[in-house]
Structure 1
Amino acid sequence: MKKILICAIVCSIVTGLTVHLHLNWNTFNLSRGYFQTRGTTYLTEEVIRYGHVSVISLCANAKKSRVSLNHAHKVYSLGEQIQVQVDLYDLYGNRKLTGGDVLRVWMENPETAASVSCRVSDHNNGSYTALLRAVWSGSATIKAFIASRKEEVVLNYMIYQQHGSLWTVLAEFRANNLTDATACSVRQGNSFKTNEWCNFTNENNGYSWYCKKSKIKQLACDTWSHSFSAKNMSFHLNNTERSILDLPLAALKQDVLQSSVRVSVRGGPKGVKLSAPSTSCNALPAEMTWRRTSPNGFFHQNKWHSLLCTDTLPRTIDAYRQCLKGRTLWLHGDSTSRQFKEVLHSILRFPSHSDRHVPVTDTDLIHNFSISYHAHELPFYHGPRHFKKSVNQAQYIMVDRLPNTTKDIVVLYMYAHFVFVHPDVFRRHVQRLVPSVRNLLARAPNVTIAVRGPHAFFTPMRGVLSYWGHLYSDIWHEEFASLQDKIVYLDFWDLTMAKPSQNIHPKTAIVNEMVHNMMSLLCFRK
């Protein structure tokens, strides 16, 4: 008893983090079956900046935490709101007294391969509320998962502030049979020793990029030729920090709460699902795609069903080919963009010449369309393979080069590589895109532009949290606010929350659903 009391006191002292939350409120049209709910909730940067990291035993523990219904009845009608509460406890079984942990709550029925996720509200006292929607008839189980602990987010931010990035990008210099590699960053490590750094901002299309000069005199800055990256961290962590950073490496099942809730949904024969509004997806006004509707869809028989619009695009080769005829689909970004490209090649049955991060545009000469991939600007973590510096190019460069007569489909995307660096870096890169996109829309009336938002992932690599997707989604919304009536937002957060990926790269089956959802919104757009 004495031990428990001491732990509770220590918990309240060590945590020392007053949680402020970013809230997005959505009011839905009740006449169309929607209900009012609270949207994304996450720690603000102001709080993260001054947060503290407590020992791992005081972090939220899935085995001790609980999920329960807020109402006694367990039978609901199709379309009805289901409210559940999640209470977090630490390893010692003590109730968490502050918020800030990021939870995933979802409802599933494995028999019908059905699942739906929701947004979670944080009450800043260790208690969370999730509002789900009964979207199919039959049985369902509601589960919860600790996606990111507050301590993980705070520690990541501390590293960004102090060291610039989680992992290390290296520049390789080559000349006269000499080679050397040095560490790079979005900032100079020491402003008083600027002569020790190569300033590659111009080479990075105007985005800040610095690499340490080689100690080999013959390898001047202009001999930079390739880039690669390492997963190691070039800074010291104490035992507590290391244990916090390694939390995501635990198996997925370890962070799923052991308690769950079973409910039944009535509304017709087993398997009947909620219908979407009659508006076809390609006629859905662009600004509607930017609204934080949650859930914006659900899985049933492993297919994604939108709740924003009716998918009228057949899942056929001919429909996709007709959509792309005479156009190039630009899928620039990172390896997850390349996943989209590979899935489309599989569906459209024409050969791909992709080579990791090497830029490529593949053309189907018979059916007259192309699909293009180009790695976005640095920061970009290439892995151990050494890539020429020319493989990376800012997306605004591609946008500026498109002719006034273009009728191409441009999908703007940045996310995965920016979870390694301070969010201000992401914000600057998105801001630079805006004037180029605005100019293209003004001069090329037949172009179709979309912004692909962040996706959720679980059990990632060391220190890599999809938590930042919440913040980065807001940055897209804020910076593109004046263009939302002209650009489609591809919101895949709910889709990838409903079926989790244990890696930053979604499974192929999930990418298939993401791609079709994208095509249904962008093809034959009215």
Structure 2
Amino acid sequence: MKKRYFAIPCLSVVILFVYLHLNWNTLNLSQVYLPERGVTYLTEKVMRYGTIFVPSVCAHPNKSRIYLKHAHKVYNLGDEVEVQIDLYDMLGNRKMTGGDFLRVWMENPERAASVSGRVADLYNGSYTALLKAVWPGNATIKAFIATRREEIVLDYMILQKHYSLWTIFAEFRANNLKDSTKCSISQGNSLKTNEWCNFTNENNGYSYYCRKSKIKQLTCDRWSHSYSENRIAAPLNNTERNILGLSVIDPKPDILQTSVKVSVRRASNDMELPAPRTPCNKLPTVMTWQRTSPNGYFLQNKWHSLLCTNTLPRTTDAYRRCLKGRTLWLHGDSTSSQFKGALHSILHFPSHTDGHVPTTDTDVTHNFSISWHAHELPFYNGARRYDRSTHQGQNVMMDRLPNTTKDIVVLYMYVHFTLVHPDVFRRHVQRLVPSAKNLLARAPNVTLAVRGPHAFFRPMHGLLSYWGLLYTNIWHEAFASLQHKIVYLDFWDLTMAKTSRDFHPAEDTVKEMVHTMMSLMCFRK
């Protein structure tokens, strides 16, 4: 068994070597990685060729090292600091391929300061990172192996074969009868399509299928609830479990043991980096889509944008004035529900949130509402059974808004889609575009935003922050024609600089994200 298992990866390596050898002169590395923002990811084309699934050849934090590219350790405020990271495996052998997802940041805990770095893959086991010196004083640069190439490729291979890492179930009910069946966004290659219930129409036009119940009385129209098993459902051998388990363990051991210490001196009499001149609510929307990195930094636990100046007071009254006469639509998943919770805390009015049940809360006294609704399936509700009406496509919500609306709409999908093939996310995002165009054309007073992915340290059972790199690109491609009308809420650098182990950011981080959102969208003309 062991010999056969290791023979397959070796054959994959031979095939990949032959391919690269024959196509090296025509291979466009700019198509393999995304250099504009400075953060890189493997394309699906590269992932399909596989890799060697042996834990001992994965990047190891104790063997790998980070060091300055240039000798001097003293920098001026505003300078760029360049470091290099060389990865080694558990046996101390130099890694010769790229594709590992590294997270690099600079911090000063005494000042509650941090800033993320732009990481570039050199395709040979080495990575460079550029960091901006944004506060005077001392700083330490650290690197973290967020996700290994081997895990990313294995994750993708599972999605190619099984369509989803976790399993969603449909529950059918009639009289005293009850039964559950597995669901999928695809019927696969099955020729027996009559074994499936096609719930695409019920899922607002997004592909969704569930196996028919073997109980005759429980026909497809008896679908009543959905739930999920929040664990990897695909059959795995021990080696594959070990590979996928690398990003579930405590993240601390995967921070490189070596770090870089630098000193930043202030320029002339400037104690801090000068703030941008443009107020955030006057920043042209197209500028919010620019992939400038870093686009901000933390100082005294407050987020400071490098694109604009936040002129919105952090007060209950300012938020109320912004929302007066409007509904703020925060549809999506539990990480958008966190935004709703943070706003309730700031605005001091009660929330009636109940898990994934759709909720619209209204402050009658101050005349505004905040709405949360779970996005369409695939959505992994966990063990609790939720009514089939729980989920709603965000395109449906936009189509229902009147022409006179002055509401603020934040489009957002992310965490649940990291469990399905990237093509599924691409299709769902693309379906939002016509509705967004129509809404902007017929409702001139609406304010529309797209919220991009955020980063996190460690997932639960296969959820990878890594896919946020690819999904950012998908949002940008799909909404390219609307970037002059829609605000892009870019929280990648913010959450790269402020570490969060779970895919739910910490409460103080969420409040900084919310205030950044409000500063960009409130009183925008």
TM-score by structure 1 length?
Answer: 0.94
- C-alpha contact 2:232 2:461 (8 A) present in aligned 1: no
1:158 aligns with 2:144: no
Q: How does 1:507-522 map to 2 (within 5 A)?
A: 507-522=506-521
| Structure 2: tracts of 5 or more residues without a match | 1-9, 21-26
Give 1:196 shift. 1.1
Q: Is the 8 A contact 2:34 2:41 kept in 1?
A: no
Which residue number corresponds to residue 222 of structure 1?
221
Aligned residues: 506
1:460 to 1:354, Cα distance in 2 relative to 1, 3 A: same
SS in structure 2 of the partner of residue 450 of structure 1: strand
Query: Which runs of structure 2 are paired with 1:11-90 in the superposition (5 Å)?
Result: 22-26=32-36, 39-90=38-89
1:428 maps onto 2:411 in alignment = no
- Where does residue 97 of structure 1 map in the other structure? 96
| Cα distance, 1:287 vs structure 2 | 0.1
Output the CA distance in 2 between the equivalents of 1:336 and 1:409. Answer: 18
Cα distance, 1:409 vs structure 2: 0.3
Q: Deviations over 1:501-526 (max 9, x none)?
A: 11111011100000000000000013
Displacement of 1:270 after TM fit?
Answer: 11
Give CA deviations for 1:127-161 in whole Å, capped at 9, x if unaligned.
Answer: 00000000000000000000111111101110111
Shift of 1:118: 1.7
| Aligned alpha-carbon RMSD (Å) | 1.8
* Structure 2 Cα separation of the partners of residues 46 and 70 of structure 1: 32
Write the letter of the residue equivalent to 1:508.
Answer: E
| Map of 1:483 onto structure 2 | 482
Q: Residue type matched to 2:90 in 1?
A: L
Q: 2:418 and 2:325 mapped to 1: Cα distance?
A: 36
Q: Is the 8 A contact 2:172 2:225 kept in 1?
A: yes
1:226-263 deviations in whole A, cap 9, x for unaligned? 00000233331122211111111121111100000000
- Cα–Cα, structure 1 residues 203 and 45, in superposed 2: closer, same or farther, change >3 Å? same
Q: 1:14 to 1:105 in 2, by over 3 A?
A: farther
| Residues 403-452 of structure 1: per-residue CA shift (max 9 Å, x gap) | 00001000000000000000000000011000000000000000000000
Give the conservation status (yes or no) of the 8 Å contact 2:415–2:463.
no
Q: 1:167 matched to which residue of 2?
A: 166
Does the CA-based 8 Å contact 2:296-2:493 persist in structure 1? yes
Partner of 1:117: 116
Matched position secondary structure for 1:244: helix
Aligned amino acid, residue 462 of structure 1: H
What residue is the counterpart of 2:363 in the other structure? 364
Q: What amino acid is aligned across from residue 95 of structure 1 in structure 2?
A: R
My pick for the range that moved more, 183-192 or 310-319, is: 183-192
In the alignment, the residues of structure 2 paired with residue 55 and residue 148 of structure 1 have an alpha-carbon distance, to the nearest angstrom, of 15
Q: Which residue of the partner structure matches residue 308 of structure 2?
A: 309
**Match for residue 404 of structure 1?**
403
Question: Unmatched 5+ residue regions in structure 1?
Answer: 1-9, 27-37
Within the alignment, does 1:276 sit opposite 2:275 as a pair?
Answer: yes
Pair 1:46–1:316, CA change in 2 (3 A): same
Instruction: Give me the whole-angstrom Cα distance separating, in 2, the residues matched to 1:25 and 1:422.
Output: 23
Q: Which amino acid in 2 is paired with 1:250?
A: I
The CA deviation at 1:477 is 0.1
Change over 3 Å in CA distance of 1:164–1:25 after alignment to 2: closer
1:12 positional shift: 11
Residue 195 of structure 1: how far off its partner (Å): 1.3
Determine if contact 2:32/2:46 at 8 Å carries over to the other structure: no
- 3-state SS of paired residue (2:191): helix
SS of the residue corresponding to residue 192 of structure 2 reads helix
Partner SS, residue 39 of structure 2: strand
- Cα distance in 1 for partners of 2:271, 2:16 equals 48
1:426 maps to amino acid = F
Cα shift at 1:51:
1.5
Preserved CA contact (<8 Å) 2:117 2:131: yes
The AA in structure 1 aligned to 2:186 is R
Q: Is the 8 A contact 2:141 2:261 kept in 1?
A: yes
Distance, in Å, in 2 between the alignment partners of 1:12 and 1:402 is: 52
Q: Give the match's secondary structure for 1:105.
A: strand
CA contact (8 A) 1:174 1:223 kept: yes
Give the drift of 1:269. Answer: 9.8
In structure 2, the partner of 1:250 is: 249
- Percent identity among equivalent residues? 70
Which whole-Å CA distance do the structure 2 matches of 1:400 and 1:12 have between them?
Answer: 48
Distance in 2 (CA, whole Å) between partners of 1:475 and 1:502 is 25
1:451-504 deviations in whole A, cap 9, x for unaligned? 000000111112111110000000000000000000000000000000111111
Structure 1 position 193, deviation (Å)? 1.3
For residues 12 and 199 of structure 1, the distance between their equivalents in structure 2, rounded to whole angstroms, comes to 37
**Letter in structure 1 aligned against 2:391:** N
| Distance in 2 of aligned mates of 1:468 and 1:151 | 14
Q: Is the 8 A contact 1:53 1:154 kept in 2?
A: no
Moved more, 450-459 or 237-246: 237-246
Contact 1:53–1:155 under 8 Å retained in 2? no
Runs of 4+ in 1 over 6 A off after TM superposition: none
Report the AA paired with residue 343 of structure 2. L
CA 1:270–1:414: 2 relative to 1, 3 Å: farther
Task: Tell me, in whole angstroms, the C-alpha distance in 1 between the residues paired with 2:232 and 2:179.
Answer: 19
Matched, 1:182 2:184: no
CA distance in 1, matches of 2:157, 2:342: 38
Q: Secondary structure at the match of 2:426?
A: helix
